[in-house]
Amino acid sequence: MSLITNPAPNVFEPETLRAYEAGIKSDWLAGDLRVNATVFHYDYSNLQVRTADALGFLVVRNATTATIDGLELETTAYPIDRLELTAIAALLVARYDRFIDPVSLADYSDNRLNRAPDVKVGLGAQNRFPMPGGAELTVRGEYEYTSRIFHQPGELRAFSRDPAHLFNARLAYRTPDERWSLALFAKNLTHERYFGHAFVVLGEPRATITPPRTFGFEVRFAN
């Protein structure tokens, strides 16, 4: 079941943001190692929160104030020729400072923001293999971890997604003239299923489910 738009007017205030960021980009070992880091602080006023009302209609509410503090780290390494390793990590502290629902009067102050994980990690490995005649074969594997997220204000586990572990793979062939490429891919290799979104319709919990294990192919041509 999907969320649908409420036919009744949904009035909300404009959102404002004050953002503060600082970061560093650095290369080491003659460019074989790159490390980037960013810290940030976001102050929101009238944060627009997309949620569902008691009938399951998609609505927007305003959280009076909210803050996000975060750290992002990104590393790329080339330990040997044609091998690329990547690692990305993000740490978040994202909370509603003051948020009282104007309809239900529920107080969500000091609760975590919707769909804002505390931790997110991504790892990748890619190797390029030269083929006869100048063609190239690329093999890539990816892993992604996302900690628990809440789909609705209130930090209710019934409306949350469990920590997610996803594995993806890709095999690509490129012709010597670099005009054609063919790729085979697999997503969610371990067939993990999670709530893509969770909400209430007429007092009953409902949810959408994330895609299962999927396979596909791509064909590309460049003039």
| Amino acid identity at 171 | L
> What are 61's two structure tokens?
């509410």
CA distance 165 to 162: 10
**Mean pLDDT over each residue of the chain, to the nearest integer:** 91
Question: Does the pLDDT at position 31 exceed 80?
Answer: yes
Note the pLDDT of residue 54. 63
How many Cβ atoms from other residues are within 10 Å of residue 157's Cβ? 9
Instruction: Identify the bridge partners of residue 21 per DSSP, sorted by sequence position.
Output: 40
Average pLDDT value for residue range 175-184:
95
Give residue 2's pLDDT: 47
pLDDT digits (tens, 9 = 90+) for 61-112: 888 899 999 999 999 999 999 999 999 999 999 999 999 988 778 899 999 9
User: What torsion, rounded to 10 degrees, do the Cα atoms 186, 187, 190, 194 define?
Assistant: -160
Task: Check if the beta carbon of residue 47 is closer than 8 Å to that of residue 62.
Answer: yes
Q: Lowest-confidence range among 5-14, 48-57, 138-147, 177-186?
A: 5-14
Pairing of strands 4-5, 57-77: parallel
pLDDT at 8: 53
* Low-confidence winner among 45-59, 62-76, 205-219 (lowest mean pLDDT): 45-59
57 pLDDT more than 80: no
Q: How many CB atoms lie within 10 A of CB 161?
A: 21
Judged by DSSP in three states, 223 sits in coil
Residue 1 pLDDT exceeds 60? no
> Nearest 5°: phi and psi at 157?
-65, -30
For residue 147, what is the DSSP state? -
**C-alpha span between 82 and 43 (Å, rounded):** 42
Q: Average of pLDDT values for 109-131?
A: 96
The pLDDT value given to residue 189:
98
Q: Among all chains, which residue has been given the structure tokens 């609760």?
A: 111
Per CATH, the homologous superfamily of domain 4-221 is TonB-dependent receptor, beta-barrel domain (2.40.170.20)
Q: What one-character-per-residue DSSP string does 24-52 give?
A: EEEEEGGGTEEEEEEEEEEEEEEEEEEEE
pLDDT for the residue numbered 56: 64
